[in-house]
Chain A
């Protein structure tokens, strides 16, 4: 697939990533992850073991022929396929991602499906594509009768969650997040830029300007990484919020231990992001202090556990 901004390539890529805890009491092993992600028989699940265990399903295509989202109300139609894939990180976190890319213009008439199927993951406009309006409309959320790729990602999450090998008793309750993103090529000479916004109900939006020739798959990879780390930070911060040191020990310990057992080791930004896109995360991290906050939270959890151990030991000694 050609990259963003190249002569024959797309001018816009959009996607949505859903992130949730895999609904099982313990992390699944590599074999189980493979079994869960075997969404197609003709293509294997890709596994990687370093720097963390990661499994990703083959891509699934969904054919669409519909109105594109728009903020201005300009109606533009596009036809083609949306790519979707699911990934399991360290056997513990499930991510489903759906994305597409689109060129600036296409044939003035709708072609036969064969024309669109040779470009997987690409939505080809009928006529010109109002790029800005579509990108803004996509981030604002589709209106009725406009393309909504959220359900495509969600249906993968739902399909995997129904699998019989999952015991459906997660060790802690966590809220899912959806991250909606758009990527356009950065203007000449400008560097990568990223605008990250958090809304209610676990929705995040990311507006990216990426180097020329970045492939849509690489942009999706960056957003999956952002979504994973945002989800981790949100989940751990929420669990610690209002957790009073005066709580009875068993309850506090249960929360702290579940975080240590299941989430703390997952923080590993940029482990699977294309090298040219590292600046996007670095910029975001610099501005929002994600890593600093994560380190502080992780340290706090460990300190609490140590304090408790010291306290229970001294209680034991005094009771003797």
Chain B
């Protein structure tokens, strides 16, 4: 399955959340590959704690591969190369977890037929080896998004592959509007996809939203706020919910809400069970939300057109 992680803007927790999803699925025994298509600012190597990842990818990362400068993009086995102390011992029963990093100097480029062929060949090769391919796409209607949108259209090479889009956004007015625009706007995924040969209802049935860094007003984090603040925040939350529903990204289309997590505010990293249970630095709710989200990727009742 191809999981395409898109976001309206930067700073939505797209990279860090999708890396956590990849990690969760591999803990469950799935063989997982993470492709960093965040052209210009690849961050996955940092999230997986691979300090030399960006450096090693220079000239042989995904951009170089797509542009034909290298025959085979660099692969980094996360379990064996990570410096994250809790990850070094690969848990029994876990699947493979491999990162294909992007080159730092890659930047954006025009989508050509040649790029698309190379992408299709790469994905077909990887999907024999991995049951999940996570693709972290640059923010907005980027070239990376267009490239994947064309390649996954029914008559292109990846049309037969099951693919699911996750649109990440933060829980603010601007982000909600921008996320709706990215999915359904006149320049959005569904419109652009239809022009590229996608069936609009099928495509929109394969798009779900992930709300990131959502403040949960009932959590202890907010227990110190004054009554006036509490009431105001409640109203905001309510107003946002109405706004989202009005723009077509209401609860029915939300795959998960990831609560505001202090650890992720400080550091983009994988949240491990050790962080939650032994060290007590990350919140159980976050860990659980990531786990649920990872599971829902393959639960069909969460997907499809309503």
Give the interface of A toward B (CB within 8 A): 20-21, 23, 148, 150-151, 157-158, 161-162, 164, 166-170, 173-176, 201, 242-244, 247, 251
Residue of B whose beta carbon sits closest to that of A170:
B128
Q: What's the least CB distance linking B152 to chain A, in Å? A: 12
6 closest A-B pairs (Cβ-Cβ)? A158-B121, A161-B124, A173-B31, A168-B160, A175-B129, A173-B131
* B196 in the interface (beta carbon within 8 A): no
Flag if A20 contacts B128 (CB, 8 Å): yes
Q: List 20 A-B contacts (CB under 8 A).
A: A21-B128, A23-B127, A23-B128, A150-B71, A157-B125, A158-B124, A161-B121, A161-B124, A162-B120, A162-B157, A167-B160, A168-B124, A168-B127, A169-B162, A173-B31, A173-B130, A176-B128, A176-B129, A201-B75, A242-B92
Binary contact track B154-190/A, C-beta < 8 Å → 1, others 0? 0001001110000000000000000000000000000
Flag if A244 contacts B93 (CB, 8 Å): yes
8 Å CB interface, B103-130 against A: 120-121, 124-125, 127-130
* B250 in the interface (beta carbon within 8 A): no
Apart from A158-B121, A201-B75, what 20 extra A-B contacts exist at CB < 8 Å? A20-B128, A21-B128, A23-B127, A148-B71, A161-B121, A161-B128, A162-B121, A162-B124, A167-B160, A168-B127, A168-B160, A173-B129, A173-B130, A174-B128, A176-B129, A242-B92, A243-B93, A244-B92, A244-B93, A251-B29
Q: Which residues of B contact A251 (CB under 8 A)?
A: 29
Q: Which residues of A contact B29 (CB under 8 A)?
A: 251
Flag if B125 contacts A161 (CB, 8 Å): yes
Q: Which residues of B contact A242 (CB under 8 A)?
A: 92-93
Q: How far is the CA of A157 from the CA of B75 in the complex (A)?
A: 20
Flag if A174 contacts B129 (CB, 8 Å): yes
Q: What's the least CB distance linking A188 to chain B, in Å? A: 40
Q: How far is the CA of A176 from the CA of B285 in the complex (A)?
A: 39
Q: What's the least CB distance linking B274 to chain A, in Å? A: 21
Residue of A whose beta carbon sits closest to that of B28:
A251
Q: What's the least CB distance linking B124 to chain A, in Å? A: 5
Flag if B71 contacts A151 (CB, 8 Å): yes
Q: Which residues of A contact B131 (CB under 8 A)?
A: 173
The bracket for how many chain B residues form the interface is 10 to 19
8 Å CB interface, B72-105 against A: 75, 92-93
Q: What's the least CB distance linking A203 to chain B, in Å? A: 11
Q: Which residues of A contact B75 (CB under 8 A)?
A: 201
Kindly name the residue among B120, B128, B131 whose own CB sees the greatest number of chain A CB atoms within 10 A.
B128
Q: How far is the CA of A174 from the CA of B127 in the complex (A)?
A: 9
Q: How far is the CA of A167 from the CA of B160 in the complex (A)?
A: 6
Q: How far is the CA of A65 from the CA of B71 in the complex (A)?
A: 19
Q: How far is the CA of A175 from the CA of B92 in the complex (A)?
A: 19
Q: Which residues of A contact B92 (CB under 8 A)?
A: 242, 244
Q: Which residues of B contact A168 (CB under 8 A)?
A: 124, 127, 160-161
Q: What's the least CB distance linking B100 to chain A, in Å? A: 13
Residue of B whose beta carbon sits closest to that of A159:
B121
Q: How far is the CA of A176 from the CA of B128 in the complex (A)?
A: 8
Q: Which residues of A contact B71 (CB under 8 A)?
A: 148, 150-151
Q: Which residues of A contact B125 (CB under 8 A)?
A: 157-158, 161, 176
In the complex with contacts A167-B160, A173-B131, A175-B129, A247-B124 CB distance below 8 A: no
Q: How far is the CA of A150 from the CA of B92 in the complex (A)?
A: 34
Q: What's the least CB distance linking B120 to chain A, in Å? A: 7
Q: What's the least CB distance linking B3 to chain A, in Å? A: 15
Q: Which residues of A contact B130 (CB under 8 A)?
A: 173
Q: How far is the CA of A148 from the CA of B93 in the complex (A)?
A: 37
Q: How far is the CA of A247 from the CA of B160 in the complex (A)?
A: 32
Q: How far is the CA of A170 from the CA of B129 in the complex (A)?
A: 9
Q: What's the least CB distance linking A182 to chain B, in Å? A: 20
Q: How far is the CA of A176 from the CA of B130 in the complex (A)?
A: 11
Q: Which residues of B contact A201 (CB under 8 A)?
A: 75
Q: What's the least CB distance linking A253 to chain B, in Å? A: 13
Q: Which residues of A contact B127 (CB under 8 A)?
A: 23, 168, 170
Q: How far is the CA of A170 from the CA of B120 in the complex (A)?
A: 17
Residue of B whose beta carbon sits closest to that of A202:
B129
Binary contact track B19-31/A, C-beta < 8 Å → 1, others 0? 0000000000101
Q: How far is the CA of A162 from the CA of B128 in the complex (A)?
A: 13
Q: How far is the CA of A251 from the CA of B121 in the complex (A)?
A: 30
Flag if B121 contacts A173 (CB, 8 Å): no
Q: How far is the CA of A166 from the CA of B92 in the complex (A)?
A: 33
Q: How far is the CA of A157 from the CA of B128 in the complex (A)?
A: 12
Q: Which residues of B contact A164 (CB under 8 A)?
A: 160
Q: What's the least CB distance linking B66 to chain A, in Å? A: 15
Q: What's the least CB distance linking A164 to chain B, in Å? A: 8
In the complex with contacts A168-B160, A176-B128, A247-B31 CB distance below 8 A: no
Residue of A whose beta carbon sits closest to that of B30:
A173
Kindly name the residue among B75, B129, B130, B157 whose own CB sees the greatest number of chain A CB atoms within 10 A.
B129
Q: Which residues of B contact A162 (CB under 8 A)?
A: 120-121, 124, 157
Q: Which residues of B contact A174 (CB under 8 A)?
A: 128-129
Q: Which residues of B contact A21 (CB under 8 A)?
A: 128
Q: How far is the CA of A242 from the CA of B90 in the complex (A)?
A: 11
Q: What's the least CB distance linking A94 to chain B, in Å? A: 9
Q: How far is the CA of A20 from the CA of B126 in the complex (A)?
A: 11
Q: What's the least CB distance linking A158 to chain B, in Å? A: 4
Q: What's the least CB distance linking A231 to chain B, in Å? A: 12
Binary contact track B47-81/A, C-beta < 8 Å → 1, others 0? 00000000000000000000000010001000000
Residue of A whose beta carbon sits closest to that of B95:
A173
Kindly name the residue among B31, B125, B161 whose own CB sees the greatest number of chain A CB atoms within 10 A.
B125
